[in-house]
Structure 1
Amino acid sequence: MQNGMHTDTERCVRAVRSKDARFDGWFFTAVLTTRIYCRPSCPVVPPKPENMTFLPSAAACQQAGFRACKRCRPDTSPGSPEWNQRADLVARAMRLIADGVVDREGVPGLAARLGYSTRQTERQLLAELGAGPLALARAQRAQTARVLIETTPLPMADVAFAAGFASIRTFNDTVREVYALTPSELRTRATKTASSPPPPAFAAQAAGASSDIPGTPGTPGTPGTAGTGTGTRTGAPGTLTLRLPFRAPLNPDNLFGHLVATAVPGVEEWRAGAYRRTLRLPYGHGIVALTPRPDHIACRLTLSDLRDLTVAISRCRRMLDLDADPVAIDGQLRTDPVLAPLVDKAPGRRVPRTVDEEEFALRAVLGQQVSTAAARTHAGRLVTAHGDPVDDPEGGLTHLFPSAGSLAELDPDSLAMPRTRRTTFTTLVSRLADGGIHLGPDSDWAETRARLLALPGFGPWTVDVIAMRALGDPDAFLPTDLGVRRAAAELGLPATPAALTGRAAAWRPWRAYAVQYLWATDTHPINFLPA
């Protein structure tokens, strides 16, 4: 699928008539007669083509005066996969908006992070998405508010504050405008629906998250939210239970296997069938437990500040690569007769990523030329000495991974590693702390690669693994990686890095996913879901 699909009217009409959930998030159907907008998979009878118009974002629909359909909840559609596979201004801006930057720093802050003027940023977002950064952030705030209204007992003033609204009046006006209901009516409606039988199930592949309240709009199997999520308030204050659906298929083996096999003691663990970890967030910290299910990822999230809800869910989705388009990715990789059997055997592999780009880069250096176990040991010592303590009554998590700023003053001699790698580590810490290198959802991939390569001890493998798992470049490739070379030899692919890179040109722009399939030929623990 290409950018601007909403302009292809004939294609959009076909998708709406077939109720194809694969297109949810790619475009939105606005009905001129009812002034309602829907996702393509909406279960209601499609309107006549002459009564439909198509827009590129929920924010654009809201800005044009359309209200969200109460059946399919289009405002909660998953984000376009393009935002995680592109590195241009619009894609970087969308990742930052999902990370809450507009709410925290305003549009000038967003533009400054992107290296463009406010006017340029607004113009490009408006041209591609039909809405500027303020409207996009407003749509996200409205959805976060809906989550909290429908699934928690929080007072409305607290909901407004947690969702990022500047005033109760703005909160009330926005909810009423977007949903054609007052906040109190939304909560009453959700409570009544919870006591009624659940509606027929829909395909969950394109949903983003759904509620654990039986029968609510967002019940398991019905479309939910991508960037914010819906769920139930349970247990301690700030604890929510969420469902994070995904575009199917999804193979959890390498995804969770990799995260658990490389888990840093005190920061990450596998407990009772769930991957658990601590989260450093803009307003506080959190602990998340993620459990793979057949049609969703179960998510239990505890936050010290509910204002971090949207950001936490966005980062967890990014870590698990839940917004990927596996049909497009696997379809491209299957064109290679060597990869086709690997894809057919276990389709839907994702790239295990991270919730903290700086953390991953530091861990990549700690893992240079050592075993997985040794890398975990090094990282665990660093966490114990310099991480911020957290309380975890439900498990064995003890710390947040230390920030670059907190590591800037550490004594290099305290690092039990060879002198050259110690220099590599401390130099990276220094560049991250002083802003010489910036790692985040807004990073320019090419510029960041160049700056990392200029650091002592940074070769292609380290830079590409950071590009793949921290920056999210779907085309990052590791031709010198031992596991990749072993798989290549076993499969009869070229043996030298240069020749293998040449052969891998046919896998572009999905070489990072090809790496997952190549790694899966090995018996390393990263390839297996823990028992």
Structure 2
Amino acid sequence: MELDFERCYRAVDSRDQRFDGWFYTGVTSTGIYCRPSCPAITPKRDNVCFFPSAAAAQRAGLRACRRCHPDATPGSPDWDLRADLVGRAMRLIGDGVVDRDGVPGLARRLGYTERHLTRVLTEQVGAGPLALARAQRAQTARILVEKTGLTVAEVAFAAGFGSVRQFNDTFRAVYGLAPTGLRARLRAPAATAAPGAIAVRLAFRRPLPAAVLLGFLAARAVPGVEAATADAYHRALRLPYGPGAVTLTPHDDHVGAAFRLADLRDLAPAVARCRALFDLDADPAAVDATLGADPAFAAAVAAAPGVRVPGAVDGFELAVRAVVGQQISVAAARRVLARLCAATRPVTDSTVGTDPTTDSADPTATDTEARTELVPFPGPAELLELPDAAFAMPAARRGTLRALAAADDDGTIDLAPGADRAALVERLGALPGIGPWTTGYIAMRALADPDVLLGTDLGVRHGADRLGLPTAGAGLAGHAARWRPWRSYATVRLWLCTTDPTNGRTDRR
């Protein structure tokens, strides 16, 4: 990945936050690397070099700046835009695949040899998969050191390190001091929290219209799994090592994420999935510049800049939602999904959260009695075990859900963040009852494809009609060519143009 020195240096000199996460600034005279917006004095040109990833800077022997925390920047939006090997690998590494399955497991999922994968990542990102995973483990460890009272050994294994010695060596190399030294420098010790509870700040590129995002999720919240209030979103999570829950609270400069995890090894994938859900790695300036150049969108972009494409915390869950939502209203889909979830085996682990919107009026009620337990959305194996009566839908659609669950369960389809988008669309389309609208919706939200136009969606057509755009498939598709590569964002904006977000059977979103 080539970085233009002059452009990067201008961004550093102006402390432009828009470039945080796009690249990292290495200062050879001090041996540190920073985010472009670091408030420190701009280094001299002769002492500066630029890196496409934090792992690349660490590979060059630089340590992270303790002032700007470059490891806490938003991710590069390039990984969402790209559907090639590098983009897929970066999303899977972010989801913790290397920590769980090693580089061989990552290479198998991508369909390439370890040698080829390492060579391509090193060429384009500046570091191989092991170094990239190491950088992520170091960031997870720093969060645990700062935010919890765990011992060094507990932090080491929770962050994915194989030994305490490896953890200490990596931490010193990345941050320039031992874990105990960092904890000693904190102004206040980490607050004592319940086991598995941890709070994280999720960075993003401004602007972020939180009300729009929360409204979208609230309209689709499945009772018992998730809940949205005026200022926060709560949901249960199905994670690699066990259940969990999160509360996401948007603020002006970050999204607060309060996690409760059965296993702290799930912290990195939980963070990655919540970032995907809120589309926090997006580059709103680039998206709005393209869409705002179209007179049809100019007023909408000016009124609500930075609109995101809500993603998903679980690809299979999103696929089930898409199938259930075919040709029925959002409200009806919520009822069907709630019934499906209620029919599966309940999770009683104490780390799973509760629905804050169901407080009991009885002041003597216990917390368990006062609130509805939030349970993770069922996985494919659980769905396959349900009796026909639990589905509450026509036999054909029930068959589609069973086929989808069986395909995910046996590995025929891959709904992980780094799945091959083209291959997945083809394999999904081969399942009974799944057509172009469903595959496009899944690609847009589960795989973060930024360039999906759901031209046959009636909500999209209603929005296009309100903006004076052609509504016929060919006419709309032709006009939408100017929105590339951000047609997914245009699709969301067209949905937002509809006057009634629950417009009966025409709303399949």
TM-score, normalised on structure 2? 0.92
In structure 2, the partner of 1:72 is 68
Deviation at 1:241, TM superposition (A): 2.4
Deviation at 1:422, TM superposition (A): 1.8
Cα offsets for 1:477-521 (capped at 9, x unmatched): 111111111111122111211210111000010001011111111
Deviates more, 1:318-327 or 1:71-80: 71-80
Deviation at 1:284, TM superposition (A): 1.2
Residues 474 and 26 of structure 1: is their aligned pair in 2 closer, same or farther, counting only changes over 3 Å? Answer: same
Q: Is the 8 A contact 1:388 1:401 kept in 2?
A: no
Q: Is the 8 A contact 1:316 1:355 kept in 2?
A: yes
Amino acid at match of 2:120: Q
Deviates more, 1:307-316 or 1:413-422: 413-422
Q: Is the 8 A contact 1:172 1:183 kept in 2?
A: yes
In the alignment, structure 1 segments of 5+ residues that lack a partner are 195-212, 214-231
In the alignment, structure 2 segments of 5+ residues that lack a partner are 356-371, 504-509
Cα offsets for 1:92-127 (capped at 9, x unmatched): 111111111101100000000101110111000000
Structural mapping, 1:334-353, within 5 Å:
334-353=292-311
What is the DSSP-based 3-state SS (H/G/I as helix, E as strand, rest coil) of the residue aligned with 1:26?
coil
In structure 2, the partner of 1:295 is 253
In structure 1, the partner of 2:399 is 423
In structure 2, the partner of 1:224 is none
| Partner Cα separation in structure 1 for residue 329 and residue 376 of structure 2 | 23
Q: Is the 8 A contact 1:260 1:526 kept in 2?
A: no
Amino acid at match of 2:495: W
Deviation at 1:245, TM superposition (A): 2.8
Structural mapping, 1:62-461, within 5 Å:
62-190=58-186, 193-194=187-188, 235-271=193-229, 273-390=231-348, 391=350, 392=352, 394-395=354-355, 396-461=372-437
Amino acid at match of 1:301: F
Identity %: 57
In structure 2, the partner of 1:49 is 45
| Partner Cα separation in structure 2 for residue 170 and residue 456 of structure 1 | 49
What is the DSSP-based 3-state SS (H/G/I as helix, E as strand, rest coil) of the residue aligned with 1:399?
coil
| Partner Cα separation in structure 2 for residue 85 and residue 143 of structure 1 | 24
Cα offsets for 1:210-259 (capped at 9, x unmatched): xxx9xxxxxxxxxxxxxxxxxx6564211122322310011123321121
| Partner Cα separation in structure 2 for residue 96 and residue 480 of structure 1 | 31
What is the DSSP-based 3-state SS (H/G/I as helix, E as strand, rest coil) of the residue aligned with 1:389?
coil
Deviation at 1:456, TM superposition (A): 1.6
| Partner Cα separation in structure 1 for residue 42 and residue 253 of structure 2 | 26
Deviates more, 1:396-405 or 1:313-322: 396-405
| Partner Cα separation in structure 2 for residue 234 and residue 340 of structure 1 | 49
Establish whether residue 472 from structure 1 lines up as the match of residue 448 from structure 2.
Answer: yes
Q: Is the 8 A contact 2:73 2:204 kept in 1?
A: no
Amino acid at match of 1:470: A
| Partner Cα separation in structure 2 for residue 347 and residue 234 of structure 1 | 39
Q: Is the 8 A contact 2:226 2:374 kept in 1?
A: no
| Partner Cα separation in structure 2 for residue 106 and residue 521 of structure 1 | 45
Amino acid at match of 2:168: N
| Partner Cα separation in structure 2 for residue 517 and residue 363 of structure 1 | 20
Residues 490 and 470 of structure 1: is their aligned pair in 2 closer, same or farther, counting only changes over 3 Å? Answer: same
Q: Is the 8 A contact 1:5 1:26 kept in 2?
A: no
| Partner Cα separation in structure 2 for residue 248 and residue 80 of structure 1 | 14
Amino acid at match of 2:259: L
C-alpha RMSD over aligned residues: 1.7
Deviation at 1:408, TM superposition (A): 2.2
* Number of aligned residues: 485
Cα offsets for 1:359-388 (capped at 9, x unmatched): 110111111111112111111111111144
Deviates more, 1:425-434 or 1:463-472: 425-434
Structural mapping, 1:15-30, within 5 Å:
15-30=11-26
In structure 1, the partner of 2:498 is 522
Q: Is the 8 A contact 2:198 2:259 kept in 1?
A: yes
Cα offsets for 1:394-416 (capped at 9, x unmatched): 43234221111222233335422
In structure 1, the partner of 2:54 is 58
| Partner Cα separation in structure 2 for residue 346 and residue 238 of structure 1 | 37
| Partner Cα separation in structure 2 for residue 28 and residue 414 of structure 1 | 51
Q: Is the 8 A contact 2:94 2:269 kept in 1?
A: yes
Deviates more, 1:394-403 or 1:500-509: 394-403
TM-score, normalised on structure 1? 0.88
Establish whether residue 38 from structure 1 lines up as the match of residue 34 from structure 2.
Answer: yes
Deviation at 1:523, TM superposition (A): 3.3
In structure 1, the partner of 2:366 is none
Q: Is the 8 A contact 2:26 2:62 kept in 1?
A: yes
Deviation at 1:522, TM superposition (A): 1.9
Cα offsets for 1:292-342 (capped at 9, x unmatched): 223322221111111111111111011000110000000000111111111
Deviation at 1:274, TM superposition (A): 2.0
Deviates more, 1:416-425 or 1:466-475: 416-425
Amino acid at match of 2:159: A
Residues 397 and 477 of structure 1: is their aligned pair in 2 closer, same or farther, counting only changes over 3 Å? Answer: farther
In structure 2, the partner of 1:482 is 458
Residues 393 and 431 of structure 1: is their aligned pair in 2 closer, same or farther, counting only changes over 3 Å? Answer: closer
In structure 1, the partner of 2:360 is none
| Partner Cα separation in structure 2 for residue 142 and residue 102 of structure 1 | 14
| Partner Cα separation in structure 1 for residue 174 and residue 399 of structure 2 | 53
Residues 31 and 341 of structure 1: is their aligned pair in 2 closer, same or farther, counting only changes over 3 Å? Answer: same
In structure 2, the partner of 1:202 is none
| Partner Cα separation in structure 2 for residue 481 and residue 284 of structure 1 | 36
